[in-house]
């Protein structure tokens, strides 16, 4: 009897969530990001990647809706320059890829209160990876908040000598061990997969449905 009630409650919650994310949602406009022929070598910038296990009961579209709802909050975060809202490729985890003005801004946001909030809300510990940014370049103008964007974190042995089709942005950075990595933002999964097919490397892939730009 109790099991039947539990299953019924789960179904009801899933129906409510489904109706919620099917409702039309206003998407804030993205501050356009212009293309540049040169890399931006502004010093001291940091990039963080967060991963939190997605509750199994929450559909992907519902989480995307919550991403969009949070944009006004993140527009006000001191020192946050850019954020890619993301899922791991298997959609098992969600989080974000954040570009910060400096390390202090990043650690001010990801403080003990942030960790406690994640524990209270999701009953788990959020994963955070820090990268020290070398430089960033936007290869093609980015104008849409919501899209089929795709992010790849790849090893340094991959060299981007040209502007591969579909590549929007590239950030060169160093991980905690001093190893060089590339964080690339693509127009879609297809463009990214087509490019990386020729490389045998342990890349990290992220579905990236929403972007936030705080830079003018």
**155 touches 194 (CB < 8 A):** no
Residue 108 has φ and ψ, to the nearest 5°, of: -65, -35
CB contact set of 185 (below 8 Å; sequence gap of 6+): 84, 142, 149, 150, 151, 167, 168, 169, 170, 208
Ramachandran area for residue 69 (φ above 0: left; ψ -120 to 50: alpha; else beta): alpha
pTM of the model: 0.88
Q: How many domains does the chain have?
A: 1
CA atoms of 209 and 4, how far apart (whole Å)? 36
Residue 120 burial class via C-beta count within 10 angstroms: exposed 0-12, middle 13-18, buried 19 and up: exposed
Tell me what pLDDT residue 163 has. 87
Helix then strand then coil, % of the chain, to nearest 5: 30, 35, 35
Tokens encoding 129: 């990876």
CATH at 30: 3.30.70.100
Looking at the DSSP assignment, which residues form a beta bridge with residue 188?
Answer: none
* 85-106: pLDDT as tens digits: 999 999 999 999 999 999 999 9
**162 touches 201 (CB < 8 A):** no
Tell me what pLDDT residue 127 has. 95
**Which domain, by its residues, includes 140?**
2-213
C-alpha distances in angstroms, 189 versus 13, 152, 166, 167?
31, 9, 9, 10
* 31-77: pLDDT as tens digits: 999 999 999 999 999 999 999 999 989 999 999 999 999 999 999 99
State the DSSP code for 89. Answer: T
| pLDDT, greater one: 3 or 69 | 69
Tell me what pLDDT residue 23 has. 61
């Amino acid at each position: 009897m109790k099991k039947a009630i539990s299953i019924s409650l789960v179904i009801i919650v899933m129906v409510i969530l489904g109706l919620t994310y099917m409702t039309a949602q206003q998407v804030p406009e993205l501050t356009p990001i212009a293309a540049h022929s040169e890399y931006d070598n502004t010093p001291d910038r940091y990039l963080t990647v967060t991963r939190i296990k997605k509750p199994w009961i929450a559909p992907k579209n519902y989480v995307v809706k919550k991403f969009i709802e949070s944009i006004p909050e993140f527009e006000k975060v001191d020192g946050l320059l850019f954020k890619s809202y993301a899922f791991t490729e298997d959609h098992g985890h969600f989080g974000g890829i954040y570009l910060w003005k400096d390390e202090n801004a990043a650690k001010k946001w990801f403080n003990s209160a942030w960790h406690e909030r994640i524990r209270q809300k999701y009953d788990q510990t959020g994963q955070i990876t820090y990268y020290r940014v070398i430089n960033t370049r936007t290869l093609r103008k980015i104008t849409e908040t919501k899209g089929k964007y795709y992010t790849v974190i790849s090893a340094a042995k991959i060299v981007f000598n040209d502007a591969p089709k579909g590549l929007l942005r590239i950030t060169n950075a160093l991980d905690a061990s001093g190893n060089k990595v590339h964080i690339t933002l693509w127009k879609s999964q297809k463009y990214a997969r087509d490019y990386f097919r020729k490389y045998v490397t342990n890349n990290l892939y992220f579905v990236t449905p929403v972007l936030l730009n705080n830079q003018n």
